[in-house]
């Protein structure tokens, strides 16, 4: 599952993230207050202004583009192209990896009233991270159409589990909409889910380490992390909250039991890999997930790829698919390899990967898949 799989449920696509960030900054509500010990409103507003300053410094034309967007009629807004958030993150990550800065260090110092605050590249990177998280975190309500599609998709997954078919949901997305609905409708105890690594329950006080079980029929393998995970940098364990997102705990300005580990370390950190060309999966927990994903795809009797367009920055995903396909020892029938996309733009990439006429391509998105009989 790629970003296109979450779009029908109200989650923005990659190309939509930056306009949402800019609009939220303009409204003064990008960094909404976390429920526990967030920074004061004035500081959060300063952080928003710092992020805007940084974005406009990296791409001066972005300011003009945003003004054009704000002044455009509603039907014209869709025609205005913004850079992908991956472009900005890739640039920042490349600078960080090579110990470079994008402009003179003195320009990192932003005047605030009568004092100066030293700003470095890591500070701006954290602001970008939080902006992305705030944009992707679940909304409290669905539209009726989004809820209907979510129910139908989860119903399909539930049907597979009920038929004792081992099912692996492998996703590059951070959001939790699908898994929250699966828990609500089918999986009452998250211990019965294989996340690909050992973990601790964020809502329990015991600190018990929960290990994957072979008896489960459901794997949820989140290759780039999740909004409902927090990681301890000392003992390397991950806390998962099956009830909802806990990413906000990593942005608080205080450390307490809500963002500390049972080993005594705190604060806990987010565990997500940004959608960047410089993406490098090194975390031990994520590496376990990737190995589990490889095995799941390699041994699959049916492969359904929804909303994933094989973007050029995801070399690791392409490698995963190639290795799984070439080590499976079997060739799946055309109707058992299904690619679900909006439009035809990704078809050529999948023809290179699987071979022409070796898979079923649905260009009508999730709605077509759910109505096709293939589900």
- Of 86, 114, 136, which residue constitutes the final position of a domain? 136
Query: By C-alpha distance, which of 88, 63, 67 is closest to 77?
Result: 67
Considering the domain architecture, whether residues 105 and 200 belong to the same structural domain is answered as no
- Of 107, 136, 165, which residue constitutes the final position of a domain? 136
pLDDT confidence band for 351 (50 / 70 / 90): very high
Q: State the pLDDT at residue 84.
A: 85
- If you average pLDDT over residues 277-282, what whole number do you get? 63
Considering the domain architecture, whether residues 165 and 56 belong to the same structural domain is answered as no
- If you average pLDDT over residues 193-213, what whole number do you get? 93
Residue 4 counted as domain residue: no
Domain total in the chain: 2
pLDDT confidence band for 113 (50 / 70 / 90): very low
Above 60 in pLDDT, residue 109? no
Considering the domain architecture, whether residues 330 and 348 belong to the same structural domain is answered as yes
Distance, CA of 38 to CA of 344 (rounded, Å)? 44
Considering the domain architecture, whether residues 309 and 177 belong to the same structural domain is answered as yes
Distance, CA of 334 to CA of 327 (rounded, Å)? 18
Other beta carbons within 10 angstroms of residue 245's beta carbon come to 19
Residue 2 counted as domain residue: no
pLDDT confidence band for 354 (50 / 70 / 90): very high
Residue-wise burial string across 75-110, b where 16 or more C-beta atoms lie within 10 A, e elsewhere: eeeeeeebbbbbbbbbbbbebeeeeeeeeeeeebee
Q: DSSP per residue over 30-44, as a string?
A: SSPPPTTTPPPHHHH
Considering the domain architecture, whether residues 219 and 163 belong to the same structural domain is answered as yes
Q: Quote the percentage of the chain above a pLDDT of 70.
A: 90
Residue 5 counted as domain residue: no
Residue 359 counted as domain residue: yes
Residues 127-160: pLDDT tens digits? 888 898 888 876 555 678 888 888 899 998 888 8
Considering the domain architecture, whether residues 294 and 349 belong to the same structural domain is answered as yes
Residues 117-129: pLDDT tens digits? 556 888 888 888 8
pLDDT confidence band for 277 (50 / 70 / 90): low
Considering the domain architecture, whether residues 154 and 132 belong to the same structural domain is answered as no
Residue 6 counted as domain residue: no
Query: Which residue has tokens 């303009």?
Result: 26
Q: State the pLDDT at residue 375.
A: 66
Distance, CA of 14 to CA of 303 (rounded, Å)? 24
Above 50 in pLDDT, residue 215? yes
Considering the domain architecture, whether residues 57 and 154 belong to the same structural domain is answered as no
- Of 87, 117, 136, which residue constitutes the final position of a domain? 136
Q: Which domain holds residue 96?
A: 11-136
Considering the domain architecture, whether residues 282 and 344 belong to the same structural domain is answered as yes
Considering the domain architecture, whether residues 110 and 24 belong to the same structural domain is answered as yes
- Confirm if 19 and 25 have CB atoms less than 8 A apart: no
Residue 219 counted as domain residue: yes
Considering the domain architecture, whether residues 171 and 283 belong to the same structural domain is answered as yes
Considering the domain architecture, whether residues 131 and 152 belong to the same structural domain is answered as no
Residue 42 counted as domain residue: yes
Mean pLDDT of the chain: 86
Residue 1 counted as domain residue: no
Q: Quote the percentage of the chain above a pLDDT of 90.
A: 40
pLDDT confidence band for 294 (50 / 70 / 90): very high
Residue 239 DSSP SS3? strand
């Amino acid at each position: 599952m790629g970003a296109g799989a979450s779009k029908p449920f109200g989650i923005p696509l990659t190309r939509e993230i930056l306009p949402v960030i800019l609009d939220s900054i303009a409204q003064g509500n990008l960094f909404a207050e976390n429920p526990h010990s967030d920074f004061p409103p004035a500081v959060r507003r300063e952080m928003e202004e710092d992020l805007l300053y940084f974005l406009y410094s990296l791409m001066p034309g972005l300011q003009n583009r945003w003004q054009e967007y704000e002044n455009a009629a509603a039907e014209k807004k869709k025609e205005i192209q913004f850079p992908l958030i991956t472009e900005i993150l890739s640039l920042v990550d490349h600078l960080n990896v090579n110990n470079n800065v994008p402009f003179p260090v003195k320009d990192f110092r932003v005047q605030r009233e009568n004092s100066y605050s030293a700003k470095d590249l890591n500070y701006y990177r954290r602001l970008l991270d939080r902006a992305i998280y705030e944009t992707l975190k679940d909304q409290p309500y669905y539209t009726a159409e989004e809820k209907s599609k979510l129910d139908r998709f989860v119903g399909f997954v539930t049907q597979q589990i009920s038929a004792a078919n081992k099912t692996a949901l492998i996703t590059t997305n951070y959001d939790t909409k699908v898994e929250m609905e699966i828990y609500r409708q089918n999986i009452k105890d998250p211990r019965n889910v294989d996340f690909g690594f050992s973990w601790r329950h964020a809502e329990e006080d015991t600190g018990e380490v929960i290990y994957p079980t072979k008896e489960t029929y459901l794997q949820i393998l989140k290759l780039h992390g999740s909004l409902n995970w927090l990681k301890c940098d000392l003992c390397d364990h991950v806390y998962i909250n099956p009830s909802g997102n806990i990413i906000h705990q990593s942005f608080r300005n205080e450390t307490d039991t809500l963002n500390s580990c049972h080993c005594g370390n705190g604060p806990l950190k987010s565990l997500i890999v940004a959608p960047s060309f410089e993406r490098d999966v090194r975390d031990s927990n994520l590496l376990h997930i990737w190995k589990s994903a490889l095995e799941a795809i390699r041994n699959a009797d049916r492969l359904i790829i929804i909303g994933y367009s094989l973007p050029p920055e995801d070399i690791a995903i392409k490698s995963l698919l190639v290795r799984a396909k070439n080590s499976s020892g079997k060739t799946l029938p055309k109707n058992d390899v299904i690619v679900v996309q909006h439009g035809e733009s990704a078809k050529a990439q999948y023809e290179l990967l699987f071979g022409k006429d070796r898979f079923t391509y649905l260009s009508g998105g999730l709605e077509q898949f759910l109505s096709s009989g293939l589900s």
